[in-house]
Structure 1
Amino acid sequence: MGKYEFRLPDIGEGVTEGEIVSWLVSPGDVVVEDQPMVEVMTDKATVTITSPRSGRIVETRGKVGGVVPVHSVLVVFDLDDRPAASPARRRAH
């Protein structure tokens, strides 16, 4: 499947950017869908952004304390290196 670029989603009405508070993942980490990846602070709240899918983190963009615009690339995934579904997730389907 290749690479997937995850963009900072809309995180509130009228919010155009967010400040990276902390990264919860690093390049090389293998993550699963819905795993927390990064905490972003806006003028309204601090939000934990979760992974939209499973895969290996190739690159994180933005430094702690840095401001990133909504819809800018935040994380690059390698989808060819996804973890196997957990037994509970396999049974649910």
Structure 2
Amino acid sequence: MAYQFKLPDIGEGIAEGEIVKWFVQPGDTINEDDTLLEVQNDKSVEEIPSPVTGTVKNVLVPVSYTHLSSHRNSEK
């Protein structure tokens, strides 16, 4: 069954961020806790780890996209 990644709450009341970089592409294998993407908000750039181990099927949200936490970002 595919896992749909949703941007987690990155804390400190920050509700949105801009995707700066994806560290994966469709077809890549990723392990739990490997860096999945970087998100920039008004205070910092945060590395977001993968919550699961698996193969990336799609990256649905492009770099430079600003979004709210828990928005669907990729499918694994």
Q: TM-score range by the shorter chain?
A: over 0.9
Residue 54 of structure 1 aligns with an amino acid whose one-letter code is T
Q: Which runs of 5+ in 2 are unaligned?
A: none
1:76 aligns with 2:36: no
Q: TM-score, normalised by structure 1?
A: 0.77
Matched, 1:44 2:43: yes
Which amino acid in structure 1 is aligned with residue 13 of structure 2?
G
Contact 1:61 1:75 in 2 (8 A): yes
Task: Give 4+ residue runs of structure 1 displaced > 2 Å after superposition.
Answer: none
Q: Which has the higher helix share?
A: 1
Structure number with larger C-alpha Rg? 1
1:51, 1:74 → 2: CA distance?
A: 12
Q: RMSD of aligned C-alpha atoms? A: 0.9
- The answer to whether the Cα contact below 8 Å between 1:36 and 1:50 also exists between their aligned partners in 2 is yes
Cα deviation 1:51-79 (Å, max 9, x = unaligned):
111000011122111112101111211xx
1:19 aligns with 2:33: no
TM-score (normalizing by structure 2): 0.93
Distance 1:49 1:66 in 2: 15
Q: Tell me which amino acid in the other structure corresponds to 1:9.
A: P
User: Could you tell me the percent identity over the aligned residues?
Assistant: 39
Q: Which has the higher contact order (CA 8 A, sep 6+)?
A: 2
